[in-house]
Amino acid sequence: MKTSQIPFRTLREAPAEAIISSHQLMMRADLIRKLGNGLYTYMPLGLRAYRKLENIIRQELDASGAMEFKPTVVVPGDIWKESGRWDTMGAQMLKAQNRQQQDMVVSPTAEEAYTAIMKQGLTSYKQLPINCYQINTKYRDEIRPRYGVMRGREFNMMDGYSLNANDESLDETYQAYAKAYLRIFKRLGLKVIPVKADTGAMGGSGSEEFMVESPVGDDTLILCECGYAANVEKASCAKDIPLDKNGNPLAATDKPFEEIKTPGVGTIADLEKFLDCSQHSLLKTLIYKATNVSLDLSGIECCKNIKTFTEGNMTFYPEVFVAVCIRGDLDVNEAKLAGLLKASEVTLATAEEDMRITGAPVGYAGPVGLNNVPVIADNSVLNMHDFLVGANKADTHLVHVEYGRDFKVWQTADVRTAKAGDKCPVCGKPFYTSRGNELGHIFKLGKKYTQSMGVTYLDVNGKSSVPTMGCYGIGVDRVLASIIESFHDEHGIIWPMSVAPYQVAIVPIKYKDSMKEAADRLYDELSKLGIEVLLDDRDERPGVKFNDMDLMGYPVRVTIGDKNLPNVEVKLRNQSDAQLVPLEEAAAKIAQTVKAALDELNA
């Protein structure tokens, strides 16, 4: 291909809204252009890299035993109503009506579509597992699309799904995807960390995210030198013993609890000072509002009168308030709380809601006598003794409180946010943290969709059974951006050989006379050897052409100048030195270089 045939222009400056390197470089190199907020077009050069990436994903998944299929992007709203996600998916789902006023959905993900499709024709255990993936357009109405294609509104996902007869079979498929993912990222030269992830409201039995460490990552990773790795939504930590201000374990008290006046000291930090105590002897009680709760609360007295709604064969509580108690120095992890309640979202109650539920202003809530909402205690509360809690009364706290004696809770659970310095649950060493971007995800979903959408098959004994399910996703655009984020310098992109839009760029100083002859010859020879070559035939100053080729990041640049002929100058984008090579040997040598780079990535 010749540059004159490609519609592109490079930019010296990226648009001001592009603040991370990959977004800046993709815009400057004209790989993408913006059409609207969160809507990016792949220009021809960007699309070449995108397609290569897509093919690597395809090859590795095919090799792992999955098969590609291609559902539509626009799907009937009815299947979302059947699964129970029509109302609970939230505002990120783009809905529309067709001319018959039928509800339609622009797929944000495809569990429903897969389940509805694979249900057709499934009769026997002999057909399981069914493991298919697509690489297809998704739309999520992200509140804050940002970083270019890292978080777009329209984006492309590889999403695979499996129907399995039992947990062992599901685990096999799950492991096969994990292995294929590692192969894919290896071929891209990316270092990824599989981390334990939250299974959330979907309530599956296992989930891992594949993260690339990045200072501009959206996720917080909790890591330990022993190899434990989890995202902050999931990370749990080893039990620790709460200590008083002298560093001694808190001791149980026989004293009955009593009120003390704490005017205007509603925060933990203020209380710590006011009472001259350790934060470990203070209990925080927070009121949360959970939306679309699918956990069965019918056994809880104070929840008996909460209205529910039914979607498919799922029952939801549209809104439930809960109180969460946790040790004073710790924070509640909203993802864990939402997972516990099987809620689509949890948010802190407003000051008015707090007042209505506890009868006190924010900061004075406490579990003693609080019986109009379910109370959840974080595990950290179990070891606390002789502690202080809010009295559900303005300017008042209770001291000498004991868990179990003075209040009981509906549930104890891990709802704490792990942080650097907390102890690893595996080896006990302190955690450290890092930022990361989620590139892919594997998830054991269980029977949520197969059950709600009525999928059955006859098992070995001829008994009707419901298959279990897994889902597996890779954000193709986000991976492409992450490659650039990982491989660039001040001059531009440094493509790994496996995804470079072209492997070699030939830059004649001037595209005429002997330089044109040499450039054309090398172009033909390399093409015949199966190398992807771009010939810069533009009538531009050499400096302009060099800068553009560096910005666009082609792994090999060959400069052809009349001063050097019959030698040509070969320079690798990831090295600073160039090499003079006789023109007649150049094609074979360059082809060798390209092949060696690919072999190393594919090894």
Note the Cα 76 to chain centre separation in Å.
26
Q: Which is nearer to ligand ATP, 147 or 457 (CB)?
A: 147
Its sign, for the CA torsion 219, 222, 223, 226, is negative
Q: Does 160 bind ligand ATP (CB under 6 A)?
A: no
Q: Are strands 229-231 and 219-223 parallel, antiparallel or unpaired?
A: antiparallel
Rounded Cα–Cα distance for residues 54 and 235 (Å): 31
Other CB atoms within 10 Å distance of the CB of residue 58: 17
Q: How far is the CB of 232 from ligand ATP (least distance, A)?
A: 12
Q: Which is nearer to ligand ATP, 142 or 167 (CB)?
A: 142
Q: How far is the CB of 315 from ligand ATP (least distance, A)?
A: 24
Of 149-157, 242-250, 550-558, 570-578, the window that binds ligand ATP (rule: CB under 6 A) is 149-157
Q: Does 448 bind ligand ATP (CB under 6 A)?
A: no
Q: Of 160, 473, 496, 501, which lies in the binding site for ligand ATP, with binding defined by CB under 6 A?
A: 473
Q: Of 23, 140, 187, 234, which lies in the binding site for ligand ATP, with binding defined by CB under 6 A?
A: 140
Site for ligand ATP in 357-376 (CB under 6 A): none
Look at residue 528 and give its three-state secondary structure: helix
Q: How far is the CB of 478 from ligand ATP (least distance, A)?
A: 4
Of 151-159, 254-262, 310-318, 496-504, the window that binds ligand ATP (rule: CB under 6 A) is 151-159
Look at residue 417 and give its three-state secondary structure: coil
Q: How far is the CB of 456 from ligand ATP (least distance, A)?
A: 27
Q: What is the 3-state secondary structure (H, E, C) of 8-46?
A: CCCCCCCCCCCCCHHHHHHHHCCCEEEEECCEEEECHHH
Look at residue 212 and give its three-state secondary structure: strand
Q: Which is nearer to ligand ATP, 142 or 406 (CB)?
A: 142
Q: How far is the CB of 243 from ligand ATP (least distance, A)?
A: 36
Q: Which is nearer to ligand ATP, 415 or 442 (CB)?
A: 442
Q: Of 40, 42, 125, 155, which lies in the binding site for ligand ATP, with binding defined by CB under 6 A?
A: 155
Total number of residues binding ligand ATP (CB under 6 A)? 16
Rounded Cα–Cα distance for residues 361 and 382 (Å): 26
Strands (E), 166-277: 193-196, 206-213, 219-223, 229-231, 258-261
Q: Which one, of 335, 354, 345, 376, lies nearest residue 287 by Cα?
A: 354
Q: How far is the CB of 480 from ligand ATP (least distance, A)?
A: 10
Q: Does 204 bind ligand ATP (CB under 6 A)?
A: no
Q: Which residue has the tokens 């603040």?
A: 19
Q: How far is the CB of 439 from ligand ATP (least distance, A)?
A: 5
Q: How far is the CB of 13 from ligand ATP (least distance, A)?
A: 25
Q: How far is the CB of 55 from ligand ATP (least distance, A)?
A: 18
Q: How far is the CB of 415 from ligand ATP (least distance, A)?
A: 20
Q: Of 111, 208, 477, 550, which lies in the binding site for ligand ATP, with binding defined by CB under 6 A?
A: 477
Q: Of 48, 85, 151, 234, which lies in the binding site for ligand ATP, with binding defined by CB under 6 A?
A: 151
Q: Does 438 bind ligand ATP (CB under 6 A)?
A: yes
Rounded Cα–Cα distance for residues 23 and 19 (Å): 7
Other CB atoms within 10 Å distance of the CB of residue 310: 9
Q: Does 469 bind ligand ATP (CB under 6 A)?
A: no
Q: How far is the CB of 449 from ligand ATP (least distance, A)?
A: 14
Q: Does 195 bind ligand ATP (CB under 6 A)?
A: no
Q: Does 478 bind ligand ATP (CB under 6 A)?
A: yes
Q: Are strands 283-293 and 345-348 parallel, antiparallel or unpaired?
A: antiparallel
Q: Does 492 bind ligand ATP (CB under 6 A)?
A: no
Q: How far is the CB of 53 from ligand ATP (least distance, A)?
A: 12
Q: Does 444 bind ligand ATP (CB under 6 A)?
A: no
Q: Which is nearer to ligand ATP, 112 or 378 (CB)?
A: 112
Q: Does 345 bind ligand ATP (CB under 6 A)?
A: no
Query: What is the biggest distance separating any 2 CA atoms in the chain, rounded to whole angstroms?
Result: 100
Of 52-60, 278-286, 408-416, 475-483, the window that binds ligand ATP (rule: CB under 6 A) is 475-483
Q: Does 554 bind ligand ATP (CB under 6 A)?
A: no
Q: Of 328, 440, 446, 470, which lies in the binding site for ligand ATP, with binding defined by CB under 6 A?
A: 440
Which residues are CB-neighbours of 462 under 8 A, at least 6 positions away? Answer: none
The first and second tokens of residue 585, run together, are 């040997």
Rounded Cα–Cα distance for residues 29 and 33 (Å): 10
Q: Of 109, 207, 281, 285, which lies in the binding site for ligand ATP, with binding defined by CB under 6 A?
A: 109
Q: Which one, of 148, 137, 35, lies nearest residue 481 by Cα?
A: 148
Rounded Cα–Cα distance for residues 523 and 137 (Å): 35
The first and second tokens of residue 5, run together, are 């045939």
Rounded Cα–Cα distance for residues 547 and 175 (Å): 44
Torsion of CA 416, 418, 423, 426, to 10 degrees: 90
Strands laid side by side in the 504-508 sheet: 533-535, 504-508, 556-560, 567-572, 578-582
Q: Which is nearer to ligand ATP, 438 or 548 (CB)?
A: 438
**CA atoms within 13 Å, Cβ hemisphere of 262:** 31
Q: How far is the CB of 498 from ligand ATP (least distance, A)?
A: 19
Q: How far is the CB of 197 from ligand ATP (least distance, A)?
A: 8
Q: Which is nearer to ligand ATP, 436 or 467 (CB)?
A: 436
**Torsions phi, psi for 371 (to 5 deg):** -125, 20
Torsion of CA 143, 213, 109, 54, to 10 degrees: 120
Asked if residues 139 and 129 have their Cβ atoms less than 8 Å apart, the reply is no
Interface mask (CB under 6 A) for ligand ATP, residues 262-301, using x and -? ----------------------------------------
Amino acid type, 376: I
Rounded Cα–Cα distance for residues 569 and 560 (Å): 7
Q: Does 441 bind ligand ATP (CB under 6 A)?
A: yes
Q: Of 157, 190, 212, 409, which lies in the binding site for ligand ATP, with binding defined by CB under 6 A?
A: 157
Q: Which is nearer to ligand ATP, 204 or 367 (CB)?
A: 204
Look at residue 585 and give its three-state secondary structure: helix
Paired with 211 in beta bridges are 193, 438
Q: Of 142, 402, 414, 540, which lies in the binding site for ligand ATP, with binding defined by CB under 6 A?
A: 142
Residues within the interface to ligand ATP (CB under 6 A): 109, 140, 142, 151-152, 155, 157, 218, 438-441, 473, 475, 477-478
